[in-house]
Amino acid sequence: MYYTVGGDGSAEISVKHSKFIAFCSAVSSDDEAEAFVKGVKKRYADATHAPYAYLLGEKSDKSRASDDGEPSGTSGIPILEAIKNTGLTNTVVVVVRYFGGIKLGTGGLARAYGDAALAALSTMGKRAFDKCVLFDVSCDYAFISAVQNQVYSFCGILQNADYTGGAVLSVAVPVEKKQAFLSALADATSGKAVVKEKEESYCEVKLC
């Protein structure tokens, strides 16, 4: 299982008259991360600096950090550490700075950028992703609630529902909960739900 930031968020802090505005987003590739960075820089083209960092991969094994003109190691790395310290991956953070006339020193800069990044990330919470088994569950309308309850009980999600000529629910359940889910589903529907197992894939799951 891995976690990414819950959505697009922002936060602003001030340190000795310098303003730090942090923006975060969930991304799944270098291209998405770089596009987000470019978008923020375009909107805040008058900012003094706009350092950023992002972390990618289910195992958090790919990263990039940029100081964007700030002293080496004072901004990009603290932003990246903020992402790591919140247990996130597939996440990008950009922090734009407006200089307030008072130098903060390398330690002060690092703290300010890290604090701004953490503030933005904390506004959005987390989304959980896990290796899941995907199923199509066919059932009578009377069992729809029972199927949904079992999916949610096992930290799964309902991905799609087709109610044409009976209910067909497309659901995802974490791989390690597969057998327990199927057993509970059979009990809850008196064995009347027809389950078609499909592929395994990483997908969003309920935090439970």
- For residue 89, give the CATH number of its domain: 3.30.230.30
Per-residue pLDDT, averaged over 28-54, amounts to 96
Instruction: Write out the residue range of the structural domain in which residue 14 sits.
Output: 2-124
Domain boundary among 107, 124, 141: 124
pLDDT of 165 over the 80 cut: no
Calculate what percentage of the chain has a pLDDT beyond 90.
89
Half-sphere exposure at residue 6, Cβ-oriented, CA atoms within 13 angstroms: 12
Q: How does the average pLDDT of the chain come out, rounded?
A: 94
Sequence-ordered list of residues with C-beta below 8 angstroms from that of 70, at least 6 positions apart, any chain: 49, 51, 76, 97, 109, 113
Report pLDDT digits (tens) over 94-141: 999 999 888 889 999 999 999 999 999 999 999 989 999 999 999 999
pLDDT of 181 over the 90 cut: yes
61 & 138 share domain: no
> How many domains, the chain?
2
16 & 97 share domain: yes
Per-residue pLDDT, averaged over 14-20, amounts to 94
91 & 71 share domain: yes
Q: CA 42 to CA 13: how far, in whole Å?
A: 21
